[in-house]
Structure 1
Amino acid sequence: MQTITCAILTFCAALWTSYLPALELTPAQQTAKERGIALFNQFRVGGSYLLIAAEAGDADAQYYLGEEIRTLNRFITRESQKWLEAAANQGHIYAMIRLGRSGNDLCAVMGNCPSGSKSPGDWLRHAYRVALPLAEQGDPEAMFLMYKITLDTDWRAKAAEAGHAFAQYGEAISIKQGRGFYLFGNRKKAVEKWFKASAEGGYPLSMQYYQEILAERDDWEGVRYWQQKAAETGHAESIYTLGAYLSHEPEGAGHELDLVKGYGLISLLLDLDGGGGMLTTAKETLPLVAAKMTPEQIEQALAFAEEWKATHPPVSYFPDKLSIY
């Protein structure tokens, strides 16, 4: 799956799905699945869409539906466990890991976790048995999942070396925070190496960090390039950053004033009525930009936004598909 498609669902969590049993969704079911996952990645409720594909037997939709229910309730309920187990029983490794972590869930503290077909330890061991052969064959996603299962950072390092962009981001952050021993400026070089590799692999948070590195060198052309690339992934904060700089609210990175494109980009964030805080930021900035525009320019900006929606991935906060929450 290419980077841009990966962004539509959630970042780089689809490579391993080729090992799941084949399931042909109808066009309507596939559209519902993609809409539901897009809403999930915007911290909005997409369960009614996910349910359509989940009931059709799609493991990824089952996983996201289980995760949404779990997140809304702040712990695994019977309903969320039902869907997570449905996905796990089809070989969905993320679902296995989530079920394996349920021993640390709030319900475990409260003593009211629903009983399942396997214990949390059983699910983790099962995930290990499924992921290990794939990792040993060189599959980057399986290597990263082995890190998630074992918390052994050697597996994350292997995944990074194999080209897994999220693992490369994790390596960069870990080294930046002091992991490992480096002489002189070698730590900084290692951090840059991994952020650059991850950015080139399509991960927008790495693009943001790499922009900071380029800005320190006054490479503003490079900064502008990666700001555009990050926005094109659908990353909410990056869309806002590019829109704000194009609108000169504030000026920065040497962008020429483009009120139409700037307003249009920021207006994309008006749909984010779930969480994440970008809706408030957009509402505060848009009137400042609009004050510099004619009504015709605002109409052009809204038309630009509609065209962007039709040709780019949905806006996303890019949450970790297997967050600790």
Structure 2
Amino acid sequence: MTRFLSWPLLIALFSWAEPSLAADSAPEKVSGLVLYNQLKINAATQQLQIESNDENSDSQYYLAEIIRKKIRYMAPEAQHWYEKAAQKDNIYAMIQLGRHKNDFCQKIGNCPPFKKTQAEWFAQAKGLVLPKAQEGDPESLYLMYEITLNREWLEKSANAGYSLAQYWMAVSERQGEGFFLIPGKRDASVKKWLLLSSEGGYPKAMMDYLEILHREGDTASIRQWLELAARSGYQVAVSSYGAYISHTPDKLDYPLDLVKGYALFTLLKDLGDAGGIGRYVERKAEEIREKMTPAQIEDSERIAKEWKTTHPPLSFFPDKLGY
């Protein structure tokens, strides 16, 4: 029976504590968003600060996210960057400002003055998003769900083809939301949403879909979807794909490809210990390397460079609207 490589505590227990600067350095010019998605928090903070000072609203939003998650409440600096982004009509920043609850900052006497109330931020966001949602824009339909928490908007977005909404429809139904009278219909609906989201290119859905295929014993489809997920740059998929094609272990019947497998783990080493993966990557890379000839190791360097230039950057795909 196939067993997938597990990543204990990888995403669910992701810590925003400061890693060492040595492990978090970014020697080449990389955007703040790429560094943020790679959980290289020190380097991301530095680059996002530069971009935020250049009035990039997306960078201002992600910089605020880093600050808020590190401190675990709406600190004045986080609020400053959220508000800067919101003033440029950044809907995600407005939603975070609308969600803000200042109970903790009141306890420590550190509540900053707000330009608008929570209700006013939500009203402004809704005013910008609702017209587009009424026209059927898939992302706007999803944002209406985030603003209102009305599940009808989520379903409308999913039916409009928004892959992120389709993924969250699957998650919500798996957790018991929705009404299904006939036994088996819930599982079938979860599978449907995960497949649609996967076909839309969302890698987290692909990895969840693999679990269903695993239970069904569909190894051929597992191989197909795991490779597609790896091509997206999703770190979990890249590591699993690299391990399986190098037969470390051999559980999916991929043709043996030590060169590409080692190349992928060479790329994963660039993440350092972001997400707590460093020791696993080093150990797995060494297991593969022990099977290789010097010529294969040299060839893997070329493959790694080719992959890096022809695929999206490695990413943990953290949720954009984090809590």
Normalising by the residue count of structure 1, what TM-score does the alignment of the two structures yield?
0.85
Matched positions, count: 293
Partners of 1:200 and 1:294 in 2: how far apart?
A: 38
SS in 2 for 1:243: helix
Q: Is the 8 A contact 1:76 1:105 kept in 2?
A: no
Deviations 1:46-102 (A, max 9, x none): 122223332222211111122122223332222222211111011100000111122
1:28 maps to what in 2? none
Say which SS state the counterpart of residue 103 (structure 1) adopts. coil
Deviations 1:19-38 (A, max 9, x none): xxxxxxxxxxxx96x62101
Distance 2:195 2:89 in 1: 33
> What is the deviation of 1:175?
1.3
Task: Tell me the residue number matched to 2:313.
Answer: 314
Q: Tell me the residue number matched to 1:36.
A: 32
2-side partners of 1:73 and 1:313: how far apart? 30
Q: Would the alpha carbon gap of residues 159 and 109 (structure 1) be closer, same or farther in structure 2, given more than 3 Å must change?
A: farther
1:246-278 CA deviation, whole Å, 9 max, x = no partner?
111111221111111111112221122353122
Partner residue, 2:131: 133
Measured in 1, the distance between the counterparts of 2:196 and 2:103 equals: 34
Contact 1:198 1:206 in 2 (8 A): yes
* Amino acid of the structure 2 residue aligned with 1:88: A
Question: Is the alpha carbon distance of 1:271 and 1:75 closer, same or farther for their aligned partners in structure 2, counting shifts above 3 Å?
Answer: farther
What's the counterpart of residue 4 of structure 1? none
* Equivalent residue number for residue 82 of structure 2: 84
In structure 1, how many angstroms separate the alpha carbons of the residues matched to 2:315 and 2:141? Answer: 25
1:253 and 2:290 are equivalent in the alignment: no
The aligned residue for residue 144 of structure 2 is 146
Match of 1:188 in 2: 187
Q: Distance in 2 between matches of 1:82 and 1:170?
A: 30
1:281 corresponding residue in structure 2: 280
2:73 and 2:276 map into 1 onto residues whose CA distance is 23
Do residues 215 (structure 1) and 214 (structure 2) align? Answer: yes
When structure 1 is superposed on structure 2, of 201-210 and 103-112 the one drifting more is 103-112
Look up the SS of the partner of 2:272 in the other structure: coil
> Which residue matches 1:303?
302
- Quote the Cα distance in structure 1 between the aligned partners of 2:176 and 2:287: 41
Aligned positions of 1:95-244 closer than 5 A: 95-103=93-101, 106-182=104-180, 183-244=182-243
Aligned-partner Cα distance in 2 for 1:59–1:137: 25
> 1: CA distance between counterparts of 2:303 and 2:151?
44
CA distance in 2, matches of 1:279, 1:106: 34
Q: 1:142 to 1:216 in 2, by over 3 A?
A: same
SS at match of 1:276: helix
Q: Deviations over 1:178-211 (max 9, x none)?
A: 2223212222211111000000011111111222
Query: What is the identity, as a one-letter code, of the residue corresponding to 2:239?
Result: Y
| Alignment deviations for residues 215-272 of structure 1 (CA, whole Å, 9 cap, x no partner) | 3333222111111110011100000010010111111221111111111112221122
CA–CA separation in structure 2 for the residues paired with 1:108 and 1:57: 30
Post-superposition offset of 1:105: 6.9
Deviation, 1:106, is 4.2
In the alignment, structure 2 segments of 5+ residues that lack a partner are: 1-27
Q: Secondary structure at the residue paired with 2:70?
A: helix
SS at match of 1:117: coil
Cα separation, 1, equivalents of 2:293 and 2:246: 14
Shift of 1:300: 1.5
Is 2:32–2:51's contact at 8 Å kept on the other side of the alignment? no
Counterparts of 1:138 and 1:159, CA distance in 2 = 8
Compared CA separation, residues 104 and 268, structure 1 to 2 (3 A): farther
Greater shift in the superposed pair: 254-263 or 207-216: 207-216
For the residue of structure 1 that corresponds to 2:31, the secondary structure is: helix
- Secondary structure of 2:291's counterpart equals coil
Larger displacement relative to structure 2 (312-321 or 46-55) = 46-55
Separation in 1, partners of 2:93, 2:161: 23
Answer with 98-107 or 202-211: which moved more: 98-107
**What CA RMSD, in Å, does the superposition of the two structures yield over aligned residues?**
1.8
Deviation digits for residues 288-311 of structure 1 (CA, Å, limit 9, x no counterpart): 111111122122222211211111
